[in-house]
């Protein structure tokens, strides 16, 4: 049974949580109060948060040892690695922990917070409590954070804290855009769910009264309602006229406006709109490029922040000098196999890497002779010939004076 350092059940609340409890969220200019919970009911917001958090949690994580020359060597049996790869605690897997702390950082201004439970100097488990259980504030101008649980001050070295830019979460920064998306969603529901716009209007120059109106409606339904009466010609009496209702220019652009709002939310999370379902600009040729942009411009900064936050809390001050946590980004380069194969072939041919290094990138075992840096496309640098292979070929030609100059070509 794990030791829980937080014995009290009383829970402190942040200002944002108090506002959400009182009014269902922070009000926006649209009149819609947007909270983290209500924002996640917007499909574009939920897709952005899921895409970023699950992409980070899906990457392979490793512990590396940093040498004096800054080269890194993987440490496969480090005890911290088991908490991130296998189980963070008895009820949370490593994948679920990383996904949850990323979701908190994307949705809440305080960021993603988790407590590191130590016995002596050994890390035993990582616990991500419900948002608001661990509170953080910045009491002085140095912006040094101070962490509390139930009013009890906690060591900063025991708290994993993943923060977003601007000291605000992306969800808070795009709260107004989310409010507009919620308003448009409600308008669409009313428009199509309750038949807010009729197909047409029958007008009469004469007053009909209640009985006359009822008879006209009954006659119209009997003559025109139903699939069997579709396409029939309508006959009207006493100068009544039929006017078909048309959509205004604003209504006609409703779909484009909703699409623009999706793109606005994508900008707030710095994620390609195609990953949220907007395929208007997506093609077979630019899909890999958008995946690269997602890794470089959106996910990479979050991964750097996550690596630093985990390293600061999971290693002691002395261990931080030689150990680090790294997420393997190679999975994102596997999107375009042709481009990956071309890049590896070019690096091997230019002798930047050797064949065994390339095979390691592809999770393949090494082979004998694969550690030699050689260009497989030229005979002078074939594996086994070494750096003097070209000179050896020239010597062989001189040893055979009867050999024609073009015999090798033939």
Q: Determine phi and psi for 34, rounding to 5 degrees.
A: -110, 120
Rounded CA-CA distance 160/152 in Å is 17
Query: What pLDDT is attached to residue 377?
Result: 79
Say yes or no: 233 and 273 in one domain: no
Rounded CA-CA distance 61/240 in Å is 75
Query: What pLDDT is attached to residue 24?
Result: 55
- In degrees, rounded to 5, the angle at the alpha carbon of residue 388 between the alpha carbons of residues 382 and 394 is 95
Where do we find the tokens 């093609």?
283
Parallel, antiparallel or unpaired: strands 323-327 and 241-244: unpaired
Query: What pLDDT is attached to residue 116?
Result: 94
Q: What stretches of 135-203 show up as alpha helix (H) in DSSP?
A: 170-173, 175-193
Query: What pLDDT is attached to residue 11?
Result: 44
Say yes or no: 164 and 241 in one domain: no
Rounded CA-CA distance 325/64 in Å is 6
Query: What pLDDT is attached to residue 296?
Result: 85
Rounded CA-CA distance 95/102 in Å is 11
Digit-coded pLDDT (tens) for 195-217 = 545 667 778 887 878 887 788 88
Rounded CA-CA distance 94/306 in Å is 14
Say yes or no: 222 and 94 in one domain: no
Query: What pLDDT is attached to residue 281?
Result: 73
Say yes or no: 256 and 346 in one domain: no
Rounded CA-CA distance 25/20 in Å is 4
Digit-coded pLDDT (tens) for 34-47 = 888 889 999 999 99
Work out how many domains the chain is built from and give that number. Answer: 3
Say yes or no: 164 and 53 in one domain: yes
Say yes or no: 230 and 161 in one domain: no
> Which residues of the chain are under the pLDDT cut of 70?
1-25, 191-199, 227, 229-231, 245-252, 282, 284-288, 331-337, 379-410
Query: What pLDDT is attached to residue 160?
Result: 95
Say yes or no: 213 and 146 in one domain: no
Identify which of 84, 109, 108 has the alpha carbon closest to the alpha carbon of residue 96.
84
Say yes or no: 258 and 398 in one domain: no
Rounded CA-CA distance 409/397 in Å is 13
Which residue among 185, 219, 246 closes a domain? 246
Judged by DSSP in three states, 89 sits in strand
Say yes or no: 289 and 384 in one domain: no
Which residue among 187, 220, 246 closes a domain? 246
Say yes or no: 152 and 271 in one domain: yes
Longest Cα–Cα distance in the chain: 121
Query: What pLDDT is attached to residue 380?
Result: 54
Say yes or no: 148 and 54 in one domain: yes
Length of the chain, in residues: 410
Say yes or no: 11 and 90 in one domain: yes
Which residue among 246, 276, 303 closes a domain? 246
Domain residues for 223?
Answer: 198-246
First to last CA, the chain: 78
Judged by DSSP in three states, 24 sits in coil
């Amino acid at each position: 049974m794990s030791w829980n350092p937080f014995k009290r059940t009383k829970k402190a609340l942040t200002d944002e949580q108090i506002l959400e409890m009182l009014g269902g969220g922070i009000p926006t200019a649209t009149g819609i109060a947007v909270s983290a919970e209500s924002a996640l009911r917007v499909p574009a917001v939920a897709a952005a948060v899921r895409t970023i958090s699950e992409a980070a949690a899906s990457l392979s994580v490793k512990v590396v040892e940093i040498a004096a020359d800054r080269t890194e060597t993987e440490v496969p049996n480090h005890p911290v690695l088991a908490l991130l790869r296998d189980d963070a605690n008895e009820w949370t897997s490593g994948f679920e922990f990383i996904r949850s702390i990323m979701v908190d950082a994307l949705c809440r201004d305080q960021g993603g917070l988790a407590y590191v439970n130590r016995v002596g100097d050994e890390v035993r488990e990582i616990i991500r409590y419900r948002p608001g259980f661990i509170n953080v504030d910045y009491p002085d101008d140095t912006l040094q954070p101070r962490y509390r649980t139930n009013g009890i001050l906690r060591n900063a070295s025991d708290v994993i804290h993943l923060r977003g830019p601007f000291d605000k979460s992306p969800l808070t920064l795009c709260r107004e855009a989310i409010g507009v998306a919620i308003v448009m969603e409600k308008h669409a529901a009313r428009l199509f769910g309750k038949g807010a716009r009729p197909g047409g209007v029958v007008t009469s120059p004469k007053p009909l009264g209640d009985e006359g109106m009822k008879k006209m409606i009954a006659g119209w339904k009997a003559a025109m309602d139903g699939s069997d009466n579709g396409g029939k010609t309508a006959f009207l009496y006493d100068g009544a006229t039929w006017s078909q209702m048309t959509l205004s220019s604003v209504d006609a652009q409703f779909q484009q406006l909703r699409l623009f709002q999706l793109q606005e939310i994508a900008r707030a999370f710095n994620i390609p709109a195609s990953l949220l379902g907007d395929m208007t600009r997506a093609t077979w040729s630019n899909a890999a490029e958008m995946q690269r942009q997602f890794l470089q411009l959106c996910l990479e900064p979050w991964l750097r922040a996550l690596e630093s936050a985990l390293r600061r809390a999971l290693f002691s001050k002395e261990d931080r000098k030689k150990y680090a946590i790294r997420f393997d980004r190679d999975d994102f380069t596997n999107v375009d196999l042709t481009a990956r194969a071309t890049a590896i072939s070019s690096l091997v041919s230019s002798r930047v890497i050797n064949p065994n290094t390339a095979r390691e990138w592809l999770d393949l075992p090494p082979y004998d002779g694969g550690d030699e840096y050689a260009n497989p496309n030229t005979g002078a640098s074939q594996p086994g010939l070494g750096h003097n292979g070209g000179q050896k070929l020239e010597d062989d030609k001189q040893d055979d004076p009867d050999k024609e100059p073009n015999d090798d070509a033939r």
